[in-house]
Structure 1
Amino acid sequence: MSSTAPTPYRWVVLLLCWAGFTMTSVDRSTWGPASAAVRDSLQVPLAALGIFATCYYIGYVVSNAAGGFLTDWLGSRVVLGTSMLAAGALMIVFGSTTSIPLGLTVQGLVGLFAGVEFSAGMKLITTWLPERELGRASGIFMTATSLGTVIANAVVPALIEHADWHTSYRLFGGVTVVLGVLCAIFLRNGAVRTDHTRRALPDIRPLLRNRDLLLLGLAGFGGLWGTYGFVTWSNTLMIKGSHISPVDAGIVVVIFAGVAVAVKPVVGWLTDRLRLGMRLPIMVVLVLFTATLLVFGALRSYGAFLAVAPVLGIAAYAYSPLTAAMIPQLVGGRLAGSAAGAVNAVWQLGSVLVPVAVGPVFRASGSFYAAFAMLAIGPLLGAVALLGVPDDRPHRTSGARDTDGRLAAAATSRGGPPTA
């Protein structure tokens, strides 16, 4: 955590980190609305379209695991600037490709460079913002993933209609390059690392012994299992299981995802304001998520889906800024980048594995409810996992209790590192 008095520069840091994370989220989300046009242009078999997304996420998960280590070693400024320049340039290259093998390779490389934005951004936010603002800042930062999906789905279809799919990749790639330059120029790493330790390799062994960090990883895995399982399968399940039209199913999903842009910063702000800690709100949200998934699975009418979609959207996204903000509380600022990257890699496995699990259940049972029960398992297990993490609620009797210090002491007693 930052040990110095807050400065106005912290908002520049938050703005640039958020803008970079948003732009790489736009890059990632471009494939969805562009995939049909890419298929026609490159003559990609329908069954093989998903391989492009798979290549991206392989690179994305790998870079999440390694990017945090690089962030702690080289500094967020270098990692953010370099990765965004490379990801943007590769987006432009993909926008000019005419070869399926080259396209698959470039997609993997885009994911490889884009996956470091979360850990590098969280490292900077942890360094420059005080603990009392961390929930709100993480909420704003995490709107990037939802906003990226909204921007891509709003802009790409229009670009394809008036130009072609190549234009969308070149445009977004160019904007990513510009933001990479701005990050390289205006970001500063802060005071967590000194000149003496600047080039020292970070010792990540304490992270491997930190049981609380592992449990947080399992909680986020369960949350993303439910969130991205719904995003991936909800349209098909509503159309096939409840005979809702594709247009109506799309509207339900838009409402579900749209609330996330507002709910993430609001939840972060409320958590800071009410001094609830992070653990208890995450558990409450994950339990609510479990319940609303089961309720949604029992519905059959379009009107009922519309009514429940906003509540389900709140539950599906409200935990993410809190799980992100909890990482530096468990490990401190010194290894915040490595911890964020490693934990996010575990979280993202939930979004990678859930489509494989839900599909066979629905095909074998033909049951809409069974599929949603499978989705509900994830957040329920995530809430249970957090039962093993120490309570982080501030003492009401102390005006400004050092939550970070108590959690660090608890982590140390379990083999984790002290707070930097």
Structure 2
Amino acid sequence: MSSTVATATKAEVSVSRYRWVILVACWASFTLTSIDRSTWGPASVFVGESLHVTVEALGAFATAYYIGYVVTNFWSGFASDAIGGKVILTVSLLGAGASMLAFGSTTNAAVGIAVQAVVGFFAGADYAAGIRLIVSWFKPQEQGFAMGIFTAATSLGTATANFVVPALITASGWRTSYIMFGAISVVVAVALFFTLKPGPLVTEHKHAPKGRFKRDLAAMFTNPNLLFTCLAGFGAFWGLYGFVTWSNTLMIKGKHISPETAGLVVGIFAVAAVLAKPIIGWICDRFFGGARKVPSIILLALFAAILLVFGRLDGAAAFLWAAPFLGLAAYGWSPLLVSLVPRLVPNGVSGSASGVANGIWQLGSVIVPVVVGAAFGAAKSFDIAFLALAAGPIFGFIAMLFVRDRQRPAVAPAAAEKE
């Protein structure tokens, strides 16, 4: 009897330790696809000069990326639930890396826009796959912290791109960044294929009772709390990725800040978020019973307010001082909404719900580059551009007021089989 208990204890310890390997693997993939996305911000002006594209038209590249990203978010969530997160995650990173290599060789603007859409198509798949893997290894009461670490990847990707890419451009041109990060992505994708495996907390689709997956999907699509969370995220992403996409160019062209300083501002902005995400997630898990709604409302309101203030600033020193506060507010809501989505739906469709939610969230990323580009092009006003950015989190704040934050009880796999 004692031998059996000892064996079970060792198995539990093994599972407990391995979940951190899974989290780090998902984080590494998400970090690299975020670098792939964020490389465009500091490189955009130089890509435009190389491919003879006007500043106002540069938004088309970012919009093309996000169109591909949104499309794949919808299907990748269902695919992750149906065949598992491992295959989807590795294919995502491999395809994104190969597409980055292709963009680094682009000499034509139309081809470049098309390749950006392909980069986005592959990069967008790893989000839902990562969520699926994490919720299969981490209990609901631990997911705020886990999602904080996972989503910190987007901030780290932005920071890395803004610290590294300007230096690479100065040394050897914008193409080097795309080729280097593309190659790294391909290598890591191959390594992850031999590392990832599904966890014990979510029943795989192939083992679920007949008809269960369809019933869970029906419940997901009729969930009003999920709908309002999707709308809140749409507004938040509007402000976030509108800033990430346009801030370098707006500071360079609108305030005559040097490219290196603009990159430093956005880098500090992202570093603050790297620290804020896991800390905010842990605090909400540990001290506020896993609350998501009220902290998200506060952070979205703060995000909108700081964007409006940022639009009124002038001079490098002011932007550098404001950057960490904007980073905290701009990204702080992220682990809260990300961890809220899976607990609003049955656990068998956690990947599908996360993919659909992120797809709707990223529609804000699709639309905002063109809107901000048009606003700045028409008014030539830094203030107006940031007013357009702030409209997103204001909308998200309003939508979040209608969400009922109720945690779904954890269901053990064995229990799920009997339902």
- TM-score, L = length of structure 2: 0.82
1:320 aligned partner? 334
2:60 aligned partner? 51
2:21 aligned partner? 12
1:250-278 deviation line (CA, Å, top 9, x unaligned): 55444333311111111111111113411
**Contact (CA 8 Å) 1:289, 1:316: kept in 2 or not?**
yes
Question: Which of 181, 184, 190 is the matching residue for 1:175?
Answer: 184
1:335 aligned partner? 349
Does residue 1:404 correspond to 2:385, yes or no?
Answer: no
Number of matched pairs: 393
1:194-244 deviation line (CA, Å, top 9, x unaligned): 443499994333322111111001111111222233334445666777x56
CA drift of 1:164 comes to: 4.6
More displaced stretch, 88-97 vs 119-128: 88-97
Question: Which of 354, 361, 379 is the matching residue for 2:368?
Answer: 354
Distance in structure 2 (CA, Å) of the matches to 1:184 and 1:239:
41
Match runs of 1:55-74 below 5 Å: 55-74=64-83
Distance in structure 2 (CA, Å) of the matches to 1:299 and 1:175:
37
More displaced stretch, 344-353 vs 297-306: 297-306
Distance in structure 1 (CA, Å) of the matches to 2:195 and 2:336:
27
2:8 aligned partner? none
Distance in structure 1 (CA, Å) of the matches to 2:213 and 2:408:
20
2:396 aligned partner? 382
Over 3 Å counting, the alpha-carbon distance change for 1:160 and 1:375 in structure 2 is closer
1:193 aligned partner? 203
Opposite residue 347 of structure 1, the aligned amino acid is W
Does residue 1:275 correspond to 2:270, yes or no?
Answer: no
1:137 aligned partner? 146
CA drift of 1:25 comes to: 1.1
2:4 aligned partner? none
Distance in structure 1 (CA, Å) of the matches to 2:251 and 2:48:
25
**Contact (CA 8 Å) 1:73, 1:200: kept in 2 or not?**
no
Opposite residue 125 of structure 1, the aligned amino acid is I
Over 3 Å counting, the alpha-carbon distance change for 1:235 and 1:405 in structure 2 is same
Question: Which of 325, 348, 360 is the matching residue for 1:311?
Answer: 325
Over 3 Å counting, the alpha-carbon distance change for 1:17 and 1:207 in structure 2 is same
**Contact (CA 8 Å) 1:74, 1:198: kept in 2 or not?**
no
Opposite residue 196 of structure 1, the aligned amino acid is H
CA drift of 1:125 comes to: 0.7
1:314-371 deviation line (CA, Å, top 9, x unaligned): 1111001111111111113211111111111111111222234345555666765554
SS at match of 1:335: helix
The unaligned stretches of length 5 or more in structure 1 are: 393-402, 407-419
More displaced stretch, 176-185 vs 59-68: 176-185
Match runs of 1:77-156 below 5 Å: 77-156=86-165
Does residue 1:21 correspond to 2:30, yes or no?
Answer: yes
Over 3 Å counting, the alpha-carbon distance change for 1:371 and 1:171 in structure 2 is closer
Match runs of 1:293-308 below 5 Å: 293-300=307-314, 303-308=317-322
1:101-158 deviation line (CA, Å, top 9, x unaligned): 5443332222111101111101111110112221111111111111112222333344
- TM-score, L = length of structure 1: 0.82
**Contact (CA 8 Å) 1:280, 1:391: kept in 2 or not?**
no
Distance in structure 2 (CA, Å) of the matches to 1:200 and 1:335:
13
SS at match of 2:348: coil
Over 3 Å counting, the alpha-carbon distance change for 1:199 and 1:157 in structure 2 is farther
Opposite residue 351 of structure 1, the aligned amino acid is S
**Contact (CA 8 Å) 2:59, 2:369: kept in 1 or not?**
no
2:219 aligned partner? 206
**Contact (CA 8 Å) 2:42, 2:248: kept in 1 or not?**
no
Opposite residue 64 of structure 2, the aligned amino acid is C
**Contact (CA 8 Å) 2:303, 2:330: kept in 1 or not?**
yes
Opposite residue 81 of structure 1, the aligned amino acid is T
Distance in structure 2 (CA, Å) of the matches to 1:30 and 1:298:
26
SS at match of 2:198: coil
Over 3 Å counting, the alpha-carbon distance change for 1:135 and 1:102 in structure 2 is same
Seq. identity, %: 50
2:39 aligned partner? 30
Over 3 Å counting, the alpha-carbon distance change for 1:24 and 1:200 in structure 2 is farther
Distance in structure 2 (CA, Å) of the matches to 1:97 and 1:77:
31
SS at match of 2:136: helix
RMSD: 3.1
Over 3 Å counting, the alpha-carbon distance change for 1:259 and 1:240 in structure 2 is same
Distance in structure 2 (CA, Å) of the matches to 1:10 and 1:282:
27
Distance in structure 1 (CA, Å) of the matches to 2:27 and 2:331:
17
CA drift of 1:8 comes to: 0.9
The unaligned stretches of length 5 or more in structure 2 are: 1-10, 411-418
Distance in structure 1 (CA, Å) of the matches to 2:105 and 2:132:
34
Over 3 Å counting, the alpha-carbon distance change for 1:272 and 1:252 in structure 2 is same
1:227 aligned partner? 240
Distance in structure 1 (CA, Å) of the matches to 2:109 and 2:382:
35
More displaced stretch, 315-324 vs 375-384: 375-384
**Contact (CA 8 Å) 2:41, 2:244: kept in 1 or not?**
no
